[in-house]
Amino acid sequence: MRIGMLRNMNNQLSVATVVNMDTLQSLAREFRQRFELSSGLIHEKLAGKEFIFNHDGKDTYPFAGWSEACDGELHPILPVQEQVTIASTDSSCILLGESFEGAVYAVRAAVTFSCAGLVRGYFRVGPTIVYLSAKGAYGLPADLEPFELRVALTDHQIAERIIRNAVEQKLVSALVSSPQISVVMADGSLKHPFELYPAKVSQSESDACLVGFSKSSSLVASSRLTGTVSKAMGPAYCAAQEGLIQTIVAKFSNDGLVFRLDVARPIAQLQRVLGLILYNDGFSVGYPESLRVAHHLSVFSRSEDCALKAYLSRRYFLKHLPAFGLRRMTLGGLSNSG
């Protein structure tokens, strides 16, 4: 039916009779020439390569890993049999609604504690109500930088990420400063422009190490280091980038997936930190059990979403206006994304 509609549109619409097509045809030729100039290079880069097709914009991972490996040096991860406390944190943020001046979000964070291979306890913060408008951000543990606020006001998904990072930065700083905690793990990269590497961590006198654990990263999806690590017999890692924050790709079980880790501590401690994580946390398909539990403790259910909206209505005497989906209304039924 959709194909028939498109054919009818093609037959009925005659753009050439409405506007001068010379400029557009010239632009089309330029695009075609650009592709023809690049096609040889693209062929050289892609011909015969292993490939993963994307599914609805979601992160994917090859079932058997990449068969191609590189010359990266493979290091085994050996358990350090010392009982220490590992704190893992994750957070979630959802958009609750908007006024003509700003938007209201809810954010919640969770911290789990593991030791000797088991998750021993947890702590949750929130839900907390956050209001963002051009006049400022209200409800966050620290003020946003002016550029962060400007960016947050342009897109709800970016705003949710900035809110999560503000909350997690506060939690991570407190956890790293705790003398009872040896390793702090956070979900995500420590090197992302909007991510959560607090400056206080590098200045802290604590021995605690901060580790960013990334499920989605081009370094994992496309790096040949992944093939090297995935073929290792047992937990192992390869170094990818060195510096104040060292980046590696690693797996923590023989049949586990490969993940990107950002380790914010001196290189000399790297193997010890990985060994402590291996001994004191549990692993499901190679992912830390403490981070998995923290994720499930922080996410919002549909009923919680409804309850928070009811709370907002009662607490602030909101006048509920009927609304419609702008994207669906403007693009109609031909839109694949809705």
CATH numbers and ranges of domains, the chain: 74-298 (3.30.2170)
Q: What whole-number distance in Å separates Cα of residue 31 and Cα of residue 83?
A: 61
Q: For residues 94 and 308, give the distance between their C-alpha atoms in angstroms, rounded to a whole number.
A: 10
Task: Compute the C-alpha angle 185/130/59, nearest 5°.
Answer: 45
Q: Could you give the angle at the alpha carbon of 143 between the alpha carbons of 137 and 148, nearest 5°?
A: 70
Tokens of 8: 């009818």
Cα-based distances in Å from 249 to 207, 243, 256: 23, 15, 12
* Residue-level pLDDT at 67: 60
| Separation CA 236–CA 241 (nearest Å) | 16
- Phi (first) and psi of residue 121, to 5 degrees: -175, 175
Cα 165 from Cα 120, distance rounded (Å): 25
pLDDT score, position 247: 85
- The pLDDT of residue 62 is 60
Tens-digit pLDDT string for the chain (338 aa): 455 544 555 555 555 555 667 777 777 778 787 777 777 777 776 777 666 666 665 666 665 555 655 556 788 888 888 898 899 999 999 998 888 888 889 999 999 999 888 888 999 987 888 888 888 888 888 877 888 888 877 888 888 888 888 888 888 888 888 888 788 888 888 876 555 455 555 555 566 788 888 876 555 555 567 777 777 788 888 888 777 788 888 888 888 788 888 888 654 588 888 899 999 988 878 889 999 999 999 999 999 999 988 888 888 887 787 777 777 767 766 555 54
This prediction has a pTM of 0.76
Cβ burial of 296 (10 Å; 0-12, 13-18, 19+) is exposed
* pLDDT in the model for residue 190: 81
What confidence score (pLDDT) does residue 108 get? 92
- The C-alpha atoms of residue 181 and residue 208 are separated, in whole angstroms, by 6
Please give the helix or strand (H or E) that residue 238 lies within, else none. strand 236-241
Looking at residue 33, what is its pLDDT?
Answer: 79
Give the pLDDT of residue 66: 55
Instruction: Give the three-state DSSP class for 42.
Output: helix
